[in-house]
Amino acid sequence: MPLRPIPKPVILINSTQPAEPSSATTATTASNQPIDLRQSRVDEFLMARSLSDNSKKAYQQDLQRFMDWTQTAWAAVTPRQVALFKDDLLVEKFLAPATVNRVLTTLKNFYGWMVDSEYVAKNPTKTIDLLELESPEAQDLSEAELASIYQVAAKSNYCERNTALVSILLHGLRAAEVSALNLEDYDGTRLHVRKAKSDSKGYVPLKERARMDLDIYLAWRAQQGEELQPASPLFISRSRRSFGKRLTYWGIRDVVDVIKQETGIDLHAHRFRHTFATDLVLRGMDTYHVMTLTRHKSMQSFKRYTKRADQIAAEKAFYQALGESQPDKNT
């Protein structure tokens, strides 16, 4: 009697055993939801640093660019990959060099923290250089342009507010800093900037014109029946959607955009800051003192104002040497 054929062995997989994750960067929770282990390191990095909400958002966006570009685990990233990522941002994504440098700087800071925290042994960004940037130019406003801006503000709806807003912006404050000001931040002669970019807080003394414009605006608000409290916003909105509430950064941009349309000047809120810094340098104020008032922390970013002041002084000396009056650039 012939023997029955022996069947081939069949290997059964126990379905109750968890499968290995498909990537070194992911795991699963009890609910089988994937977890990105790279993001958990980013979250820890952001918690470890003293950052504003806006800075945290910017850091997250920069690191997310890299995580979207590659699925490689943080510990496995190589200098070559970082170099290719840099090239991708510049050549494929067409990002501005300054933006590329910002993203790379964020990645460098993150890996520096990873090394210090002993999550990785080496920093793959260490040998990657930032792009060389052209020195930015100051965009100060001429006296004729300022006169035109004040004329439009004086004829606008809510002229008291808009005139005071122009005067305060002309003291080197960023639009977001002006929006964050409360009545308690104005002591009659100075403004106390409590919320600022890169924690650049400080006091800003006001010129007589600015004090007068601001006092007129606050008196007008009191006449409208508003109860002015220390915590009340220094500038308020008059739009239908947010009437009586704080004038936001975007609200300030809207005011400036209207002035831009009426004057034909290529205007944005930051040009007032450029004008303030350049004017002080032209008046011979010590650079350290000007940087204190503008709350600059980097001499590199401040150089644009000294460069522009030197150019203006040279042009003035040129016409003086010729015995001619200097023509206005807008005539």
| Backbone φ and ψ of 324, nearest 5° | -110, 155
Q: Is the pLDDT confidence value at 290 over 80?
A: yes
Number of residues written out for the chain: 331
Q: What is the pLDDT of residues 225-283, one digit of tens each?
A: 999 999 999 999 998 888 899 999 999 999 999 999 999 999 999 899 899 888 888 88
CATH 1.10.150 location in the chain = 35-116
The DSSP 8-state label assigned to residue 90 in this structure reads I
pLDDT value of position 323: 81
Rounded-to-integer distance, Cα 266 and Cα 104, Å = 31
Rounded-to-integer distance, Cα 236 and Cα 232, Å = 9
Q: Is 190 helix (H, G, I), strand (E, B) or coil?
A: strand
Average pLDDT, the chain: 85
pLDDT value of position 288: 81
Q: Is 36 helix (H, G, I), strand (E, B) or coil?
A: strand
- Contact criterion met (CB below 8 Å) for 180 and 195: yes
**Number of alpha carbons in the 13 Å side-chain half-sphere of residue 288:** 0
Name the residue with higher pLDDT: 316 or 171: 171
Q: Of the candidates 128, 106, 22, which has an alpha carbon nearest to the alpha carbon of residue 71?
A: 22
pLDDT value of position 61: 96
223: part of which helix (H) or strand (E)? Answer: helix 208-223
pLDDT value of position 330: 53
Q: What is the pLDDT of residues 194-215, one digit of tens each?
A: 876 666 778 888 999 999 999 9
CATH of domain 35-116: 1.10.150
Average pLDDT of the residues in 319-329 = 74
Top CATH class, 143-322: mainly alpha
pTM metric for this prediction: 0.61
Q: What is the pLDDT of residues 50-78, one digit of tens each?
A: 887 888 999 999 999 999 999 999 999 99
Name the residue with higher pLDDT: 137 or 288: 288
14-18, 83-87, 175-179, 287-291 — which is least confidently predicted? 14-18
Q: Is the pLDDT confidence value at 1 over 50?
A: no
CATH 1.10.443.10 location in the chain = 143-322
